């Protein structure tokens, strides 16, 4: 009976844009599935987000407001709205490639592989973090380290170790994922097991019909004074986004 | 001939009549010759070292590339022949050492740093012996074959990246479609090189592994051939050029590293200029000495002329005198130079200024090189120029009117 109920639920879920499986099957889900669900939960099949990114340094701080669209695993478009002088700067990713556009020079530039490791828009995220956010699913071996119950909700601590030949420098990444697919913490450890940086979630709440982390902060362990925070202002999921949104011409000439 | 001996004896005696002046002049010539040879040996030693280091890093005395590779060393400019065709063409052609390699710019990233490097995909067995890396002087191990999945970095680069043997790094480059080609590699060894710059700029991986990562099938960026002497590459060049067609470009190392190539040519020119500059300073002393020697004995010259000596003999005698002076001076200078260079051949430690030296590609130990060609050049040039400089006083001596000369007070 339990199984039949689960199947019906799954069916409904699939009909409702298939945001992958739900909490019902929690015991059986393996670590990889938990991670995949979390990634899918965060970006959905498609999404539109307005967010504010704050880059903090000991002696200065700046914030940018941005719009972002995502579709599937591969496509995303980010465009800066504020501050005024950066307005129109955009980043487009498709598969593993990345392009940037700056209205000041009126040029679309393909980010070369040599620059993928560099900072994205001056933040603590690298271009690679932005372009290849979902490598975490299939380039790692995931194991559940522990399961706790916090506020009546199961919280999984998952250790993800990159495959030997994966293009990942970390020794391991530890994800703390709540049963409702919210990532509470994403810690990056070097190969000696030392913590290098942590992406922490604050203010978990309901938005766009989902429970998501509304504020996330990337903090370097060595320099706690340097961090980048992304706060989600509005988010909508499962929109019908046209493929033409994720094209170079749209990056250059916004038509949305 | 008999006359020559008589004149030589006369010249020799005149030389030692005023021995103080002769000794002063001799020491001037000797020190000049010593300076020429010693300085040249130091410079030559430094330049040789630079070229040898440079050539060993290229490496290869003759290289095959795509015609556009030297202008744009990207993954798109690959040699038109693939591995199998290369083997077929050069495998049995009797080359002592040759190897094909993948060579592209790449980025190496650790947890904390990233750096630009030259990614070398090599077959370690083929390059044993002429690689600038001493396989036995590697922390950890060197690559074991073209399929090795590890990477060997320079020790200095590993420091910068805060990584070490056993840890993983990511190498990132581009494939022929301009897509990112990247892969994780475990650091299996750290190599050591004479210069930090070398240790910082190369990452060695297996050739097949590199080809897989860059998605270039079994093609390569370059083919290198090594002979016995980097100064004499023409025979290999011609042999290689005869085996390939226009689809590839065959170059000598002097064309690949034009800086080093020019350096080698410049060294010989520099040597000649240096010798001439020192000689110019010396020549004033030499001419002055001879003029004095002539002036002192105008009356004797007049007497000899009056007794029937031909003016050409006077000319000859003065010239012989000057040549003797130079020959003895040079001999002392040569011996002096040899005696000072020999003990230093083990190398002069100039690590105090190593950083500055590195900027133009020289290492921190200077090995003076006593090059016999340079010594011969210095001696011959001094003799010839000395001969020319002595012509004028000798000519004047031979033109005296006997009566005037005898009666000169």
Query: Per the CB < 8 Å rule, is A117 touching B172?
Result: yes
Most trustworthy range by pLDDT among A125-129, B197-201, B234-238, B326-330: B326-330
Measured between beta carbons, which residues in chain A are less than 8 angstroms from residue B182?
113, 167
Mean of pLDDT values over A104-123: 80
Best to test chain A binding among B110, B163, B168, B208 (most A CBs inside 10 Å): B168
Task: Kindly state whether B168 is in contact with chain A, defined as any CB-CB distance less than 8 angstroms.
Answer: yes
Longest C-alpha distance within chain A, in Å?
Answer: 63
Given this model, what pLDDT does residue B328 score? Answer: 93
Which chain B residue's Cα is nearest to A195? B111
Distance from CA of A114 to the nearest CA of B (A): 6
Nearest Cα to A76, choosing from A54, A56, A51?
A51
Query: Per the CB < 8 Å rule, is A169 touching B107?
Result: no
For B109, the closest of A97, A117, A163 (CB atoms) is A117
User: What's the sign of the alpha-carbon dihedral A112, A113, A114, A118?
Assistant: positive
β-strand B168-174 against B249-252: which pairing, if any? unpaired
Best to test chain B binding among A95, A110, A113 (most B CBs inside 10 Å): A113
Residue B335 to residues B21, B324, B330, B345, B371: CA-CA distances in angstroms?
Answer: 22, 16, 8, 15, 14
CA distance B387 to A154: 102
What digits encode the pLDDT tens for the residues B53-108? Answer: 777 777 788 888 888 888 888 888 888 777 777 777 777 777 778 888 889 988 89
Residue A7 tokens read as 């199947």
Measured between beta carbons, which residues in chain A are less than 8 angstroms from residue B165?
none
**Is the CB of residue A76 less than 8 Å from the CB of residue A246?**
yes
Distance from CA of A71 to the nearest CA of B (A): 21
Find all residues with CB under 8 Å of A154, minimum gap 6, and list them: A26, A147, A148, A178, A179
Mean of pLDDT values over B151-166: 89
Measured between beta carbons, which residues in chain A are less than 8 angstroms from residue B112?
190, 196
Residue B354 pLDDT more than 90? no
Nearest Cα to A56, choosing from A221, A226, A220, A218?
A226
CA distance A58 to A62: 11
CA distance A161 to A140: 5
Considering its fold, how many domains does chain A have in total? 1
Find all residues with CB under 8 Å of B379, minimum gap 6, and list them: B33, B330, B334
Given this model, what pLDDT does residue B133 score? Answer: 81
Q: What percentage of chain A exceeds 90 in pLDDT?
A: 1
CA distance B211 to B36: 52
Measured between beta carbons, which residues in chain B are less than 8 angstroms from residue A190?
111-112
Find the range with the poorest average confidence among B129-133, B283-287, B335-339, B352-356. B352-356
Distance from CA of B62 to the nearest CA of A (A): 30
* Residue A156 located in a structural domain: yes
Residue B33 tokens read as 């010759």
Q: What percentage of chain B exceeds 70 in pLDDT?
A: 97
* Residue A31 located in a structural domain: yes
CA distance B92 to B97: 12
Distance from CA of A113 to the nearest CA of B (A): 5
Residue B241 pLDDT more than 90? no
* Residue A52 located in a structural domain: yes
Query: Per the CB < 8 Å rule, is B178 touching A110?
Result: yes
Tell me which H or E stretch contains A130.
helix A127-131
Which chain A residue's Cα is nearest to B109? A169
Residue B245 tokens read as 């067609």
**Is the CB of residue B70 less than 8 Å from the CB of residue B261?**
no
Q: What percentage of chain A exceeds 70 in pLDDT?
A: 87
Residue A3 pLDDT more than 50? no
Residue A244 tokens read as 């033409």
CA distance A200 to A213: 9
Given this model, what pLDDT does residue A128 score? Answer: 77
CA distance B178 to B169: 22
What digits encode the pLDDT tens for the residues B35-45? Answer: 888 888 888 88
CA distance B369 to B365: 13
In angstroms, how far is CA B361 from the centroid of its own chain? 12
Query: Per the CB < 8 Å rule, is B149 touching A116?
Result: no
β-strand A195-207 against B180-191: which pairing, if any? unpaired
Query: Per the CB < 8 Å rule, is B172 touching A114?
Result: yes
What digits encode the pLDDT tens for the residues A123-179? Answer: 888 787 777 666 777 788 888 888 888 878 888 888 888 888 888 888 888 888 888
Best to test chain B binding among A98, A117, A161 (most B CBs inside 10 Å): A117
CA distance B327 to B167: 66
**Is the CB of residue B362 less than 8 Å from the CB of residue B50?**
yes
Residue A17 pLDDT more than 70? no
Residues of A with CB under 8 A from a CB of B: 96-97, 110, 112-114, 116-117, 162-171, 188, 190-192, 196
**Is the CB of residue B322 less than 8 Å from the CB of residue B386?**
yes
CA distance A32 to A158: 9
Query: Per the CB < 8 Å rule, is A196 touching B111?
Result: yes
Burial bucket for residue B317 (CB in 10 Å: 0-12, 13-18, 19+): buried
- Give strand pairing partners of A201: A216
What digits encode the pLDDT tens for the residues A31-86? Answer: 888 888 888 887 778 888 898 989 888 898 888 999 988 888 778 888 888 888 88
Which chain B residue's Cα is nearest to A164? B184
Indicate the pTM of the whole model: 0.71
Nearest Cα to B15, choosing from B5, B31, B26?
B26
Best to test chain A binding among B72, B170, B178 (most A CBs inside 10 Å): B170
Domain of A54? 26-252
Query: Per the CB < 8 Å rule, is B184 touching A166?
Result: yes
CA distance B322 to B13: 13
Residue A106 tokens read as 């009126």
**Is the CB of residue B240 less than 8 Å from the CB of residue B94?**
no
Best to test chain B binding among A110, A191, A193, A226 (most B CBs inside 10 Å): A191
* Residue A169 located in a structural domain: yes
* Residue A7 located in a structural domain: no
* Residue A218 located in a structural domain: yes
As for the ipTM of the complex, it is 0.72
Which chain B residue's Cα is nearest to A113? B180
CA distance B392 to B390: 6
* Residue A17 located in a structural domain: no
Distance from CA of A145 to the nearest CA of B (A): 23
Q: What is the CATH number of the domain that holds A248?
A: 2.50.20.10
**Is the CB of residue B86 less than 8 Å from the CB of residue B248?**
no
What digits encode the pLDDT tens for the residues B181-217? Answer: 888 899 999 988 877 888 888 999 998 899 988 888 8
CA distance A35 to A143: 10
SS3 string, chain B, reads CHHHHHHHHHHHHHHHHCHHHHHHHHHHHHHHHHHHHHHHHHHHHHHHHHHHHHHHHCCCCEEEECCCCCCCCCCCCCCCCEHHHHHHHHCCCCCCEEEEEEEEEEEEECCCCEEEEEEEEECHHHHCCCCCCCCCCEEECCCCCCCCCEEEEEHHHHHHHCCCCCCEEEEEEECCCCCEEEEEEEEEEEECCCCHHHHHHEEEEEHHHHHHHHCCCCECCEEEEECCCCCCCHHHHHHHHHHCCCCCEEEEHHHHCHHHHHHHHHHHHHHHHHHHHHHHHHHHHHHHHHHHHHHHCHHHHHHHHHHCCCHHHHHHHHHHHHHHHHHHHHHHHHHHHHHHHHHHCCCEECHHHHHHHHHCCCCCEECCCCCHHHHHHHHHHHHHHHHHHHHHHHHHHHCCCHHHHHHCC
Distance from CA of A74 to the nearest CA of B (A): 14
Tally C-beta pairs within 8 A across A and B: 64
Backbone angles phi, psi at B336, to 5 degrees: -60, -45
Nearest Cα to B101, choosing from B143, B51, B43?
B143
DSSP state letter for A29: -
Chain B residues 106-165 with a CB less than 8 Å from chain A: 107, 109-112, 114, 116, 149, 163
Given this model, what pLDDT does residue B331 score? Answer: 94
Distance from CA of B254 to the nearest CA of A (A): 30
Residue B33 pLDDT more than 70? yes
Measured between beta carbons, which residues in chain A are less than 8 angstroms from residue B187?
none
Nearest Cα to B401, choosing from B305, B292, B312, B293?
B305
| Residue B363 banded pLDDT, cuts 50, 70, 90 | low
CA distance A108 to A253: 11
Residue count of chain A, please give it: 256
Angle at B263 between CA B262 and CA B268, to 5 degrees: 100
Which chain B residue's Cα is nearest to A128? B180
């Amino acid at each position: 009976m339990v199984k039949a109920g689960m199947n019906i639920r799954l069916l409904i879920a699939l009909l409702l844009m298939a945001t992958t499986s739900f909490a019902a099957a929690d015991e059986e889900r393996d670590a990889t599935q938990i991670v995949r669900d979390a990634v899918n939960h965060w970006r959905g099949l498609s999404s539109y987000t307005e967010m504010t990114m704050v880059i903090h340094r000991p002696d200065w701080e700046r914030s940018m407001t941005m719009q972002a669209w995502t579709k599937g695993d591969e496509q995303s478009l980010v465009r800066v709205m504020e501050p005024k002088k950066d307005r129109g700067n955009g980043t487009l990713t498709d598969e593993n490639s990345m392009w940037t556009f700056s209205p000041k020079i009126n040029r679309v530039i393909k980010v070369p592989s040599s620059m993928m490791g560099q900072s994205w828009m001056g933040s603590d995220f690298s271009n690679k973090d932005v372009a290849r956010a979902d490598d975490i699913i299939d380039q790692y071996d995931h194991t559940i380290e522990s399961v706790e119950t916090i506020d009546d909700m199961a919280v999984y601590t998952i250790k993800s170790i990159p495959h030997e030949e994966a293009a990942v420098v970390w020794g391991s990444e530890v994800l703390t994922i709540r049963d409702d697919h919210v990532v509470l913490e994403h810690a990056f450890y070097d190969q000696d097991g030392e913590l290098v940086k942590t992406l922490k979630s604050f203010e978990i709440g309901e938005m766009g019909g989902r429970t998501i982390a509304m504020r996330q902060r990337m903090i370097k362990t060595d320099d706690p004074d340097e961090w980048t925070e992304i706060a989600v202002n509005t988010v909508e999921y499962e929109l019908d986004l046209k493929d033409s949104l994720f094209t170079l011409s749209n990056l250059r000439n916004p038509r949305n | 001939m008999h006359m020559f001996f008589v004149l030589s004896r006369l010249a020799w005696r005149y030389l030692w009549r005023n021995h103080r002046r002769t000794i002063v002049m001799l020491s001037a010539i000797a020190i000049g010759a010593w300076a020429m040879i010693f300085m040249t040996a130091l410079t030559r030693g430094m330049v040789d070292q630079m070229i040898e280091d440079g050539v060993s890093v290229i490496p290869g005395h003759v290289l095959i590339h795509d015609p556009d590779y030297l202008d744009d060393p990207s993954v798109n400019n690959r040699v038109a022949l693939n591995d199998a065709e290369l083997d077929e063409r050069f495998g049995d052609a009797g080359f002592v050492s040759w190897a094909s390699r993948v060579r592209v710019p790449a980025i190496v990233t650790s947890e904390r740093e990233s750096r630009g490097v030259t990614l070398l995909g090599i077959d370690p067995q083929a390059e044993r012996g002429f690689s600038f890396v001493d396989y036995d002087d590697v922390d950890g191990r060197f690559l074991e074959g073209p399929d090795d999945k590890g990477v060997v970095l320079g020790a200095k680069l590993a420091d910068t990246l805060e990584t070490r043997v056993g840890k993983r790094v990511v190498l990132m480059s581009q494939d022929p479609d301009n897509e990112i080609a990247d892969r994780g590699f475990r650091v299996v060894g750290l190599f050591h090189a004479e210069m930090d710059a070398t240790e910082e700029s190369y990452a060695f991986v297996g050739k097949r592994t590199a080809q897989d990562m860059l998605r270039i099938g079994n093609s390569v960026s370059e083919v290198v051939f090594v002979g016995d002497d980097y100064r004499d590459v023409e025979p290999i060049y011609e042999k290689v050029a005869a085996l390939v067609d226009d689809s590839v470009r065959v170059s000598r190392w002097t064309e690949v590293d034009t800086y080093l190539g020019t350096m080698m040519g410049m060294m010989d020119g520099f040597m000649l200029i240096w010798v001439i500059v020192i000689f110019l300073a010396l020549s004033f002393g030499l001419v002055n000495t001879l003029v004095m020697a002539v002036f002192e004995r105008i009356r004797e010259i007049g007497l000899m002329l009056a007794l029937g000596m031909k003016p050409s003999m006077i000319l000859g005698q003065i010239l012989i005198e000057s040549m003797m002076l130079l020959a003895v001076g040079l001999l002392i200078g040569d011996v002096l130079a040899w005696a000072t260079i020999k003990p230093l051949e083990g190398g002069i430690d100039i690590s105090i200024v190593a950083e500055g030296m590195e900027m133009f590609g020289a290492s921190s130990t200077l090995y003076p090189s006593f090059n016999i060609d340079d010594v011969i050049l210095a001696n011959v040039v001094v003799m010839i120029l000395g001969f020319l400089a002595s012509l004028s006083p000798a000519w004047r001596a031979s033109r005296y009117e006997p009566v005037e000369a005898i009666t000169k007070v």
